[in-house]
Amino acid sequence: MKNLLTLTLLFVSLLGFSQNGAITIRHIANAGLYMTDGDLNVYFDFPYKPGAFGYTIYDESELDSIKENSLFLFTHKHADHYSRKLLRQHEGEVYGPWKFSKKEGNGGEIINNPEHSFSVKAYKNKHRFSLSHCSYLITWHGKTIFVSGDAESPETIAKMENMDWAFVPEWLLYYAKLGNVNIDANRIGIYHLYPNDTVEDDYGNNVVNLRDHQEKITLKF
């Protein structure tokens, strides 16, 4: 009976632990994001060429801290979002719109990882001077995260519902406000700013400027 009670308490303890995890999100620089649940490591638009097109020059330690065997997702191949040279120095799975079929790039599921309760859908959209560009909708432990990349218009994000976080450039918020387009997200992070850019408009209390927000974002599940 004592052994049975011990096993029962251990099971309840483990069950409680598995249901009380957290996804942490860190803005690295420019449009680069690092996300982890403590087990799976995911990078968006990183590594990129430091200082490309006048965007942020990040510390070299960021490259050294990249977790091996991570997932690397890129919205497109512009140098301020992607560096093949730097990427080749790391092991992991690489995803980008140049790899997706028409069906996959139209809201198709490009990753489905039940082991980590992680899936990603890709949405190809327009970005000036880029042959292929996409935004991503991530579902992870029941949380939904949208990564816009350099999408020119709010057309794609306007179709998303009940997002926990959305990461977008400021121009997307500007055009959404101009066109009275609702972005259905609990929190919105503005990224992809030049070092001296200021965010002039008031987009609401749920919007944060990631360049000035040094704390990690935590999503408990």
Is 115 a domain residue? yes
**Beta carbons within 10 angstroms of residue 99's beta carbon:** 13
- The count of C-alpha atoms lying within 13 angstroms of the C-alpha of 58, restricted to the half-sphere facing its C-beta, is 22
Reported as a single tens digit per residue, the pLDDT across 78-101 is: 999 999 999 999 999 999 999 999
Q: What is the pLDDT of residue 6?
A: 46
Predicted TM-score (pTM) of the model is 0.89
Residue 75 contacts residue 134 (beta carbons within 8 Å) = yes
Residue 139 to residue 76: CA distance in whole angstroms: 21
Is 7 a domain residue? no
Is 33 a domain residue? yes
- The count of C-alpha atoms lying within 13 angstroms of the C-alpha of 207, restricted to the half-sphere facing its C-beta, is 17
Q: What is the pLDDT of residue 19?
A: 55
Which helix (H) or strand (E) covers residue 169, if one does? strand 163-169
Domain count, the chain: 1
Is 165 a domain residue? yes
Q: Cis omega (within 30 of 0) on the bond before 50?
A: no
Is 4 a domain residue? no
Is 6 a domain residue? no
pLDDT band of residue 201 (cuts 50, 70, 90) is confident
Boundaries of domain holding 193: 24-220
Reported as a single tens digit per residue, the pLDDT across 104-163 is: 999 999 999 999 999 999 999 988 776 799 999 999 999 999 999 999 999 999 999 999
Could you tell me if residue 68 is left (phi over 0), alpha (psi between -120 and 50 degrees) or otherwise beta?
beta
Which CATH number belongs to the domain containing residue 81 in this structure? 3.60.15.10
